[in-house]
């Protein structure tokens, strides 16, 4: 087969790979490429044996697809600066750092094409990995530690088969962010408490909004099924934590509570093999069984004498654990029906945040270990069953962090 002129091949290759971003290294492939060569709901989540009504202020239930270096390197941009996020399609020069998917692979030289795994990390521009920024984690390998980086993008919030999640909001976009792979554990929260459990600033920066923090930092409850003082539950989710304290922990840890849009993007739009965007459950469309094959719900036996299970007991979904079941998770938003034009109302929105709702209660997500309806485990389900001061054994949290994508396509 006759080879195209080198100049034309270079232009075509640059056009094809020009979206790779900063420091992308493009190479000329062999001039003789033969045809055989490669081508590239009415459910209420309150136990019957607990105090009623549900809004109880104090009850405690107690691949590597990077370029192949063959011949002549051509730089399409400057070297990637330190801290460049590891995202699909981003190739960082200097070494080279190749970053793929939610798990970074930092490559120091061309002889190591598959690199060193750096879970949730970022390339530092010199072939090394920057560890996840979780102040509560002395090691990224500790159970309950780790961060999943997300590019953000468009999503449709809501699902007519989910709880209190209609009408669907179809024109929502979220910016890039990073989210805890697991619910915050007792061990992580204890480090915050022992560090003096400081209150956060009165105004917290969210994409496009300043969010007020009011209240006080309060020690988790210890009654009933609370994990805080129970022996052997360091790697269970911290529960019995009220909303202001959950936000205070996240700020101390280097982040903040997620918005509803961020939480739903992580649960329904994070992509991996076999996962479609807008799926019904975090893991897909399969309904979880009451024997707890996919999530801790329906009052299945817990671990270590608790109602919850240790985080990470179930298979991860695109890097996340327990986005359904174990504990409901606080979000930053006040709950408001999707029909409310004040916060939602079907209009186009970027990084939405709802500051107020009719009940004045925060939105919660994910279902819990006592949820007895699969509807509550759907990834779009939402509720406002608990006032901010509630410390319940079915309430916990995970944190998010804003992140900048350097040199995107």
Whether a cis peptide bond, with omega within 30° of 0, leads into 167 is yes
With respect to residue 42, please indicate whether it lies within any of the assigned structural domains: no
333 phi, psi to nearest 5 deg: -70, 150
- pLDDT at residue 143, as a whole number: 95
pLDDT, position 104: 44
CATH classification at residue 293: 3.90.1580.10
Residue 282 lies in a domain: yes
Q: Is residue 305 part of a domain?
A: yes
Number of folded domains that form the chain: 1
What do you get for the CA distance between the two ends of the chain, in Å? 33
Position 235 in a domain: yes
178 strand-pairing partners: 149, 401
Residue 15 has a pLDDT of 32
* Calpha distance 7→147 (Å, rounded): 43
Give the pLDDT of residue 141: 86
E-only strand ranges, 57-100: 73-75, 91-92, 97-100
Q: What per-residue confidence (pLDDT) applies to 140? A: 80
**Integer Cα distance of 190 and 33 in angstroms:** 60
pTM over 0.75: no
User: What pLDDT was estimated at residue 123?
Assistant: 55
Q: What is the pLDDT of residue 364?
A: 98
Give the list of residues 6+ apart from residue 50 with CB closer than 8 angstroms, or none: 56, 59, 61
> Considering the domain boundaries, does residue 126 fall inside one?
no
**What per-residue string of b and e applies to 232-256 under the rule 16 or more CB within 10 Å gives b?**
ebbbbbbbbbbbbbbbbbbbbbbbb
User: Considering the domain boundaries, does residue 309 fall inside one?
Assistant: yes
- Position 128 scores a pLDDT of 57
Task: Show the domain range for 401.
Answer: 144-409
**pLDDT for res 29:** 26
In a domain, 134, yes or no: no
**Beta strands in 197-263, from DSSP E residues, in sequence order:** 203-206, 209-212
In a domain, 67, yes or no: no
Quote the crossing angle between the two packed helices 186-194 and 243-252, to the nearest 10°: 80
- Consecutive 10-residue runs of the chain (409 residues): their mean pLDDT? 39 32 29 32 42 32 31 36 43 40 41 47 55 81 90 95 97 93 98 97 93 97 96 98 98 96 97 94 96 96 97 94 98 96 94 92 98 98 97 98 51
Which residue from 171, 154, 166, 163 is spatially nearest to 338, judged by alpha carbons?
A: 166
Positive/negative CA dihedral, 121, 85, 213, 173: negative
């Amino acid at each position: 087969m006759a080879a195209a002129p080198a100049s034309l091949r270079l232009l075509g290759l640059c056009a094809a790979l020009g979206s790779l971003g900063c420091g992308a290294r493009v190479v000329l492939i062999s001039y003789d490429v033969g045809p055989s060569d490669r081508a590239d709901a009415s459910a209420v989540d309150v136990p019957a044996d607990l105090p009623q009504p549900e809004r109880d202020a104090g009850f405690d239930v107690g691949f590597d697809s990077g370029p192949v270096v063959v011949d002549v390197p051509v730089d399409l941009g400057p070297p990637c600066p330190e801290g460049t996020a590891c995202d699909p399609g981003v190739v960082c020069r200097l070494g080279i750092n190749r970053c793929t998917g939610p798990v970074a692979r930092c490559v120091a030289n061309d002889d190591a094409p598959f690199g060193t795994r750096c879970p949730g990390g970022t390339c530092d521009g010199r072939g090394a990995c920057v560890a996840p920024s979780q102040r509560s984690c002395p090691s990224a390998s500790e159970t309950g530690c780790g961060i999943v980086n997300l590019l953000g993008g468009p999503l449709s919030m809501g699902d007519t088969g989910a709880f209190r999640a209609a009408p669907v909001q179809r024109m929502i976009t979220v910016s890039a962010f990073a989210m805890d792979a697991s619910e915050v554990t007792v061990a992580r929260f204890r480090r915050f408490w022992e560090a003096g459990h400081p209150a956060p600033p009165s105004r917290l920066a969210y994409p496009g909004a300043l969010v007020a923090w009011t209240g006080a930092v309060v020690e988790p409850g210890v009654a009933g099924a609370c994990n805080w003082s129970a022996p052997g539950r360091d790697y269970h989710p911290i529960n019995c934590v009220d909303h202001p304290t959950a936000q205070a922990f996240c700020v101390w840890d280097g982040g903040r509570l997620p918005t509803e849009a961020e939480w739903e993007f992580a649960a329904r739009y994070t992509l991996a093999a076999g996962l479609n965007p807008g799926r019904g459950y975090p893991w897909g469309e399969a309904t979880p069984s009451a024997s707890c094959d996919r999530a801790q719900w329906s009052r299945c036996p817990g671990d270590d004498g608790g109602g919850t299970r240790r985080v990470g007991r179930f298979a991860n979904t695109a890097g996340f654990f327990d986005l359904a079941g174990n504990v409901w998770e606080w979000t930053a938003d006040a709950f408001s029906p999707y029909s409310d034009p004040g916060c939602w109302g079907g209009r186009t929105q970027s990084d939405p945040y709802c500051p107020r709702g009719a009940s004045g209660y925060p939105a919660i997500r994910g279902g819990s270990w006592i949820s007895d309806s699969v509807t509550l485990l759907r990834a779009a389900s939402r509720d406002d069953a608990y006032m901010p001061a509630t410390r319940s054994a079915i309430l916990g949290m995970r944190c998010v962090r804003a992140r900048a994508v350097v040199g995107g396509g």
